[in-house]
């Protein structure tokens, strides 16, 4: 279990395209906390697997430079990340990195899928950012279209639902809100409104 005695830790979990990354970055900037998108760790491993690497070896040899890669945002890497995330040995290899980051002095925001339940269950604030599958698929479809990636909305929705099922049904650290997490449903919220909710909850806990 991570120790948060060195700083103030905010754990933000939620499914793909719910807005947790955007909320997390804004919260970190508002409070001057360090930010870690833990999903990038799994995307980096997934990208290595797509290139032919063994998942466990890829996780154990991951370096910070591996996270600085624009190709980590493609649908293929996202699906590969979801597949490698069900492997217990992969998750174990990445736990220490995440917990060390969470315990840093000065405060930290970590977003992912098991931060509040597994990585930092003693975080001072836990948020679960979610939205309907249809809304999340529309957001992802718009993002991909803007990058010239031609997936159809129906395919993107199917991918979102498949990833949700894999993340929520996996035996190791399934996606679910922590018992004491604050829920933020962004289905009908603007980014500013969602960030304002998160900032208010964190401010109250400090």
Using alpha carbons, select from 123, 167, 161, 168 the residue that is nearest to residue 24.
123
- Alpha carbons 113 and 108: distance in angstroms, whole number: 16
Is 117 annotated as contributing to ligand binding? no
Is 131 annotated as contributing to ligand binding? no
- Alpha carbons 35 and 21: distance in angstroms, whole number: 10
Is 18 annotated as contributing to ligand binding? yes
Which SS3 state, helix, strand or coil, does residue 35 take?
strand
Is 21 annotated as contributing to ligand binding? yes
Is 15 annotated as contributing to ligand binding? yes
CA dihedral 172, 175, 178, 184 (to 10 degrees): 170
**HSE (side-chain half, CA atoms, 13 Å) at 44:** 21
Using alpha carbons, select from 112, 35, 98 the residue that is nearest to residue 62.
98
Those residues whose C-beta lies under 8 Å from the C-beta of residue 51, and which sit 6 or more positions away, are none
- Segment (H or E) for 8: none
Distance between alpha carbon 119 and the CA centroid of its chain, in Å? 12
- Report the greatest alpha carbon distance in the chain: 47
Identify any residues that bridge with 128 across adjacent strands, giving them in sequence order.
Answer: 13, 183
Annotation: binding site: 14-22
Q: Show binding-site residues for ATP.
A: 14-22
């Amino acid at each position: 279990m991570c120790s948060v005695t060195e700083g103030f830790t905010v754990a933000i979990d939620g499914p793909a395209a719910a807005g947790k990354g955007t909320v997390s970055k804004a919260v970190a900037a508002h409070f001057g906390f360090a930010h870690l998108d833990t999903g990038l760790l799994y995307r980096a491993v997934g990208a290595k697997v797509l290139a032919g690497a063994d998942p466990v070896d890829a996780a154990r040899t991951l370096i910070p430079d591996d996270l600085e890669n624009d190709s980590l945002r493609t649908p293929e890497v996202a699906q590969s990340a979801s597949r490698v995330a069900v492997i217990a040995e992969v998750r174990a290899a990445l736990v220490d990195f995440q917990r060390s980051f969470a315990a840093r002095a000065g405060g930290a925001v970590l977003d992912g899928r098991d931060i509040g339940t597994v990585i930092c269950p003693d975080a001072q604030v836990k948020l679960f950012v979610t939205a309907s599958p249809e809304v999340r698929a529309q957001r992802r479809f718009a993002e991909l279209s803007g990058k010239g990636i031609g997936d159809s909305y129906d395919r993107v929705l199917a991918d979102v639902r498949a990833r949700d099922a894999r993340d929520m049904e996996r035996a190791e650290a399934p996606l679910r809100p922590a018992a004491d997490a604050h829920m933020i449903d962004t289905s009908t919220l603007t980014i500013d409104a969602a960030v304002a909710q998160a900032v208010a909850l964190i401010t109250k806990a400090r």
